[in-house]
Amino acid sequence: MDVLSFEPGDTLLLYTDGVIEARDADGDFHPFETRAAQWSQASPESLLHHIQRDLLAHTRGRLDDDAALVALRREPDIHRHRHHGRVIHASGLGHSS
């Protein structure tokens, strides 16, 4: 099991393989991590909205697999200084046997 810190201001983004394996008409995968990074400072709702729109534009509205996304933000502790959050991708979590 890998353990990552989830600091105040961070957003945890979970997604299924249908998101990262979505392809366009030429067979190119959706550049998920690059695109999601553009919206790392957005609210979880806005982040999901941007990804959904971009994913559907990339695939021209046709997904070949189910796709699910969940975004959770850890709110900053009001008694400490503001941490400039980051998006933690599930791909950053290692798999161990």
pLDDT (0 to 100) of residue 91: 61
This prediction has a pTM of: 0.73
Q: Give tens-digit pLDDT for 22-78.
A: 999 999 999 999 999 999 889 999 999 999 999 999 999 988 899 999 999 998 877
Could you tell me which residue, 96 or 62, shows the higher pLDDT?
62
pLDDT (0 to 100) of residue 95: 47
DSSP state of 92: G
Which of 25, 19, 6, 17 is CA-nearest to residue 72? 6
pLDDT (0 to 100) of residue 97: 41
